Amino acid sequence: MADRYLSFTGTAPGRFLTRRLGLPQPAALRRWSPERPVLEGGLLHLTAGKSDLDLAPVLARTGLGADSGRPAAVVLDATGVRDVEGLAEVHAALHPVVRSVAASGRVVVLGAPPALADHHQAAAQQALEGFTRSLGKEIGRGRTVNLVRLTDAHAAESTLRFLLSPKSAYVSGQVIEVGSREAEAPGDWDRPLTGRTALVTGAARGIGEAVAETLARDGARVVVLDVPQAEQDARRVAERLAGTALALDITAGDAGERIAAALPDGLDILIHNAGITRDRRLVNMPAERWSAVLDVNLASVLRTTDALLASGTLKPGGRIVATASIAGLAGNAGQTNYGAAKAGIVGLVRSLAPRALDEHGVTVNAVAPGFIETRMTAAVPLFIREAGRRMNSLAQGGLPVDVAETTAWLAHPASGPVNGQVVRVCGQSLLGA
């Protein structure tokens, strides 16, 4: 369903009226397209504190030029900030330039992991999180602000390329930790998934379809999995993407074994996207509504992940990306079942990520969508739908492609140092952490 309010505020009368009434003024977001693959404008590189990062080669490969007076992106290296005095340098660096960042521009703050042995450094680095989230809520005009904690610039290249591109249009206010593990550079950054096989569950429509399309765009051979009732739609998507369809109930006890049998050459990328809702307040929720949501959204993810890791179907260097939700982070009335399941996904990621990497060479991350414009949200009552759209820093709903682009970044071969992360795709929703 079209966002008529967003369209209205893009007109001169709309801008005048919403400004006079103090209403949200969302800006049309600049998303990736083949014709416009990079942000238009320069990159301004600033530093607060003394940094040891060698950022210049990585930033040079983002496709952004030198600062042109109105930067499309600003990168502030604050990894050397170790005390309150260093935080003053953060203010001094960004205060003069924030207003000049172009519409739909990017601000990326780089921080260091807080040091347990140095409480001054830990306090200063944690302060960057509050600073980043606050700046994201006030910067406006479709601009985003994110914090990346890292120790090695080259390990963070895929993350910086993503956050400094139109692909991250609906990701803001996030804190992403990048490990020091060596990153695998792809042969072709434009098609980094060439030669890799990706399985996407619930891919016949909606967000799953968008994820399948984006992974195929990036070179992957995609297996479109959905329930037998959606087989016709799954085949349609698979044929369009030169992939294959797999009709399978993901809640079946032997789903993992059947997936492994269908992929004798193994699997590189596993995307857990399938999900359902059966909303009702707990006092009115029968057991079957509870169990159906928990089985599809959580239990099936646990079972199939365990089976595919145990069988060796997921190859070393593989990627698992599961779909959580801000409902699992902040809760939502009428969704105790859904919120429980999606919070369970967060627990899965945090527990499994280090072990899966050590034992199988596979990373485990999750995306947590907020209000995304789908057929499901189009059926939500008008006032609730409008609240969902406006209650974020970008004052609008996201699109399925926003979740897909974030998933593709986590599936990237160079994203190996990104592990155990839960990244919200919510326009910095006012709900949740």
pLDDT in tens for each of the 433 residues of the chain? 678 878 878 888 888 788 888 878 889 999 999 999 999 999 999 999 999 999 999 999 999 987 667 899 999 999 999 999 999 999 999 999 999 999 999 999 999 999 999 999 999 999 999 999 999 999 999 999 999 999 999 999 999 999 999 999 999 999 999 999 999 999 999 999 999 999 999 999 999 999 999 999 999 999 999 999 999 999 999 999 999 999 999 999 999 999 999 999 999 999 999 999 999 999 999 999 999 999 999 999 999 999 999 999 999 999 999 999 999 999 999 999 999 999 999 999 999 999 999 999 999 999 999 999 988 776 777 777 877 889 999 999 999 999 999 999 999 999 999 999 999 999 999 876 5
Q: Which pLDDT value is given to residue 67?
A: 65
CA 44 to chain centre: 24
Specify the DSSP element, H or E, that contains 271.
Answer: strand 267-272
Dist. CA 323–CA 318, nearest whole Å? 17
Token pair in block for residue 156: 């963070």
Q: Which fold has domain 31-177?
A: Rossmann fold (3.40.50)
Residue 367: closest CA among 426, 314, 291: 426
Domain layout of the chain by residue ranges: 31-177, 197-425
Q: Is 338 a catalytic residue?
A: yes
Residue 375: closest CA among 277, 236, 288: 277
226: which strand partners? 247
Q: Which CATH number fits domain 197-425: 3.40.50.720, 3.40.50.1220, 1.10.3470.10, 3.10.20.30?
A: 3.40.50.720
Q: Which pLDDT value is given to residue 388?
A: 83
31-177 with 197-425: one CATH topology? yes
Q: Which pLDDT value is given to residue 5?
A: 75
Dist. CA 35–CA 42, nearest whole Å? 18
Q: Which pLDDT value is given to residue 260?
A: 98
Residue 301 sits at the vertex; the CA angle it makes with 411 and 377, to the nearest 5 degrees, is: 80
Q: Which pLDDT value is given to residue 250?
A: 97
SS3 (DSSP) at 429: strand
Residue 426 contacts residue 419 (beta carbons within 8 Å): no
pTM above 0.85, yes or no: yes
> Which of 5, 32, 290, 338 is flagged as catalytic?
338
Q: Which pLDDT value is given to residue 374?
A: 84
Q: Which pLDDT value is given to residue 17?
A: 83
Q: Which pLDDT value is given to residue 23?
A: 79
> Residue type for 118, please?
D
Residue 406 contacts residue 368 (beta carbons within 8 Å): no
Q: Which pLDDT value is given to residue 68?
A: 67
SS3 (DSSP) at 48: strand
Token pair in block for residue 311: 């069988």
Q: Which pLDDT value is given to residue 119?
A: 98
